[in-house]
Chain A
Amino acid sequence: MNRTKASSVIALSAVAVLGLSACGGGTTGNNNGDTGATGGAATAGGDLLYLTKRPAEHLDPQRMYIGRDIFTTGRTVYRSLFQFPAGEKDATKAQTPIPDIATEVPTSSDGKTWTVTLKEGVKWQDGKDVVCEDFKYGVSRAFAYDVLDGGPFQYPTQYLDIPKDKDGSPAYKGPYSKKGQALFDKAVTCKGNEITYKFNKPWGDFPLAVAGLRVFDPYREDQDKGAKNNFVIFSNGPYKLDGTWTKGKGGKFVRNDQYDPKTDEGTRQANPDTITFEEGVDESIITDRIVAGAGNDANAITDRVVRPPSYSKVEPLKDQTTLVDSPYVFYLVPNMSRVKDVNVRKALATATDNEGWVGALGGDKAAVAATSIINPSLPGFQENPIFSKIPAAGDPAAAKKILTDAGVKMPYPIKLTYQGGDPTLDKAMGVIKEGWDKAGFKTSLDPLTETYYDIVNKPNNDSDVFQGGWGSDYPSAATVIPLLFDSRQLSASQVGNNYGQYKNKAVDQAIDKAALITDPIKAGEAYSAIDKTISEDYGYIPNYIQRFYFIRGKNVTGYEQTEATSMFADLGTVGVK
């Protein structure tokens, strides 16, 4: 489907989460191109061009939360304890962490204490060794989330064994104020090249989180200038930043001579000599440039989907395009504090025309209709029995009957708030409105730009329905259901990610129980059960799964899109002719 939305709608709010694609065990991606190493075997050398519209918001590892940025930097400039393997076609293996700076991926008997041993000889770009203290300092920065906002700080702050203040925030306030430093020093300890993390509850997913996010990355204390370092890259990977990074324009990566490939196995081929990131280029221009393939544009890859108006132009270039399901599910959430009658919500869900929506977004190359908020590729996924019964095109007549039976006054006014700014999404919302209006609603569309965050975060806002999008942080429904529907994140001033202000004690309790399940499949089944409960309340309306229809330059080799990098192009394998 579209561009900005892909990540910006998803990154809906404070704790917006996106990152890893899904799939712990299942299969993914009805890929229609060939998904193997494409464009021939990659060789070293050449200049790769990375075209994108949406600028990186943060290049500070602790602040990154956008899947694309996490993986582009992870394959080039930032190394971590663990990572996902590159070029791995088996979805399960692709999402199984392998060691990076760690000598191995450890196990933990109780899930609460994790001890990792570091490799020798991994160096920063200034030649100093990456040591245990760097990892310890790195994760400590997540606690200064008021200064270093934007990152997935909730994982270290909730799991590390540090007491909480009365307001629920950790007693450790980060490395700048150093308040509660002793508490942090107990939770994360260094012994030679062994680092130990102590959690307050079992967290079997820890290696997944390390590999799927950057918040546990090392950071050099002597290089830390706080928020001013937002676009500063101090590399320990095969590349380093040449000059400075300019937001909206991009930057250029060149080879890092301190990087020793012998310490790095199976992931970073680091084929191109340079990688240039060009930000802010409109999708249609990206497509046009790659199709034309003039000069360096023939070496280009992108994270932006081909837009429907360009489909016909891209069609003949089959060996330069790929089409895969993305990890992102888009959905609507009724505001439970305003639309209190479950029958009205049911009528909304019944009248929702997902088929028309998909059509307006550009058809089956843009999206497929969804029947659950959990991506079917996540481990343990079960079909949603409520939404899969509603026809994809909706049933306005049935919806009208529900409304009539419920005895509500018609036309029933509905204000649908979404993040505007994209004409295609505007058209798609027009389709939703049409279906709802047929069922007896009177829908007013309310596209907002950046004020969206301000509005949706207020518990007393007057919108009836919101739009949202979500992708799991790492391959587990544990990073979907609890983040979106746990009522304990609601406060008098904030709704967190629970825009619909969904409150159900049974769901909250079930979430707590599911968190203790260590088997990924069983956990997934538990979350699907919770999903069913929420669906019975019509706490959300699933819409579609976004598809990635990507084009790349004709000189690009070794091109891979796997679950390891959330279906974005893998910079660990790519090369140019």
Chain B
Amino acid sequence: MYAYVIRRLFSGLVMLIVMSFATFLMFFNGAVDPVRYTCGKACGVPGVLERNRAMLGYDDPVPVQYAKFVKGVFVGRDFPDDPALRKSAPETIARCDAPCLGYSPKENSTVTSMLAERAPISASLAVAAFIMWIAFGVGGGIVAALYKGRWPDKLIVGTALIFYAFPTFFIGLFLYKFVAIKWELTPQPVYTAFTEDPVAWAMGLFLPGLTLALFYIAGYIRLTRSYVIEAASEDYLRTAKAKGLDKRTILWKHTMRSALTPLITLAALDFAGLLGGAIITETVFNYQGLGKLAVDAATTWDLPVTVGIVLTLSTIVILANIIVDVLYAVIDPRVKLA
């Protein structure tokens, strides 16, 4: 078990290194001088390009930049890394403590602190969406499977498909403009920190969470439904029936156990993906989460932030994969960790 986890962590680390280096090549070896995308319109101010280039170390070759970045993750970094300047004019130096994911001259802030500020919002949204999509998606899928081929099945699957067919931003804006503002059926989707007011936190998360969940619900209904139907046709359920077990035990103990086990891992991976922010939903509802930060950074070309987010999100995905693999071994006795 431990050996497996360690091996898995190691391969994840290798993946992370390859992935991060590929990211550096993509962004810093492209057709465009990267420093032009660190200052927006301030790039036109005399001296800013030169200063940013020196500050961010963009005059180094890509492998050197990469090495400095990696070093910064572990020990922190100064922007610019100039000991002389640190003595004479500390105001012009930005200290970026470990784990340092870069510095944005445009925002005058370290990428790490920007991520840390936004992460709770995305995590809240992910939790809200997760609860709703599991409740509606898995619940709906089970009901659909139980009534396979009859009207509740068709209604559930059909409704989910129709929601799925409309683009997320359309549904989000529709919910926001009509359901929340015009008809005032739901609380205003404004983010409040959990620590500030848990009730307001939950109320504000309802619509964005639902919007995000709707994107997943259709898929989960279909998956759950087919898993339950598949599980119900397994030989061991015939055995359970032949033993004289009652329907309830057969359904909840035997069918669901095998139908939902693969769903757990899928849901865990999707949830992990969401932790990195939901770009469209956060944009529609003006939730200042990682997704909004990402899209703002990408569209205004704040390169250090973009790179920092790409790397963070990828790390989450890699980690989640490892966790899910280990988790799967725990919940499915057939999987051996060798």
Binding site for B on A (CB under 8 A): 11-16, 144-147, 149-150, 153, 169, 175-178, 224-231, 246-249, 280-282, 284-285, 288-289, 292, 294-295, 421, 449-451, 453-454, 457, 494, 496
Task: Given A230-B108, A450-B300, decide whether A176 and B91 contact each other with a Cβ distance below 8 A.
Answer: yes
Q: Offer 6 A-B interface pairs, CB within 8 angstroms, sorted by A.
A: A14-B42, A146-B46, A176-B89, A226-B92, A282-B286, A450-B300
Chain B residues with CB below 8 A from A450, complex form: 37, 40, 299-301
B167 touches A (CB below 8 Å): no
Give the residue name and chain of the A residue nearest to B50 (CB).
A146
CB <8 Å contact, A145 and B45: yes
Question: Using an 8 Å CB-CB cutoff, how does the interface string of B132-167 with A read, 1 for contact, 0 for none?
Answer: 000000000000000000000000000000000000
Give the residue name and chain of the B residue nearest to A8 (CB).
B41
CB contact list, B280-319 vs A, under 8 A: 286, 288, 292-293, 296, 299-301
Q: A175-B91, A288-B177 are in contact. List 8 more A-B contacts (CB 8 A).
A: A11-B41, A145-B45, A145-B48, A146-B45, A169-B46, A225-B91, A227-B92, A453-B44
CB <8 Å contact, A292 and B91: no
Interface centre among A224, A246, A247, A284 (most CB of B within 10 A): A247
* Chain A nearest Cβ from B37, distance in angstroms: 8
Chain B residues with CB below 8 A from A230, complex form: 107-109
* Chain B nearest Cβ from A143, distance in angstroms: 11
Chain B residues with CB below 8 A from A231, complex form: 108
CB <8 Å contact, B88 and A177: yes
CB <8 Å contact, A453 and B91: no
**Is the contact region of chain A dominated by helix, strand, or loop, or is it mixed?**
loop
B230 touches A (CB below 8 Å): no
Task: Given A280-B288, A449-B299, A496-B44, decide whether A147 and B91 contact each other with a Cβ distance below 8 A.
Answer: yes
Interface size in chain B (residues, C-beta < 8 A): 40
Give the residue name and chain of the A residue nearest to B39 (CB).
A149
* Chain B nearest Cβ from A306, distance in angstroms: 15
- CA gap between A289 and B187 in the complex, in Å: 12
Give the residue name and chain of the B residue nearest to A451 (CB).
B301
CB <8 Å contact, B286 and A247: no
Give the residue name and chain of the A residue nearest to B284 (CB).
A282
Task: Given A147-B51, A288-B182, A294-B188, decide whether A13 and B92 contact each other with a Cβ distance below 8 A.
Answer: no
Task: Given A227-B94, A248-B296, A450-B301, decide whether A150 and B181 contact each other with a Cβ distance below 8 A.
Answer: no
Give the residue name and chain of the B residue nearest to A457 (CB).
B44
CB <8 Å contact, B47 and A146: yes
- CA gap between A225 and B108 in the complex, in Å: 11
Chain A residues with CB below 8 A from B300, complex form: 449-450
CB <8 Å contact, A248 and B42: no
Question: Contact partner of B51 among A13, A146, A457, CB < 8 A?
Answer: A146
B204 touches A (CB below 8 Å): no
* Chain B nearest Cβ from A492, distance in angstroms: 13
A-B pairs, 4 with minimum CB distance: A14-B44, A226-B91, A146-B47, A176-B89
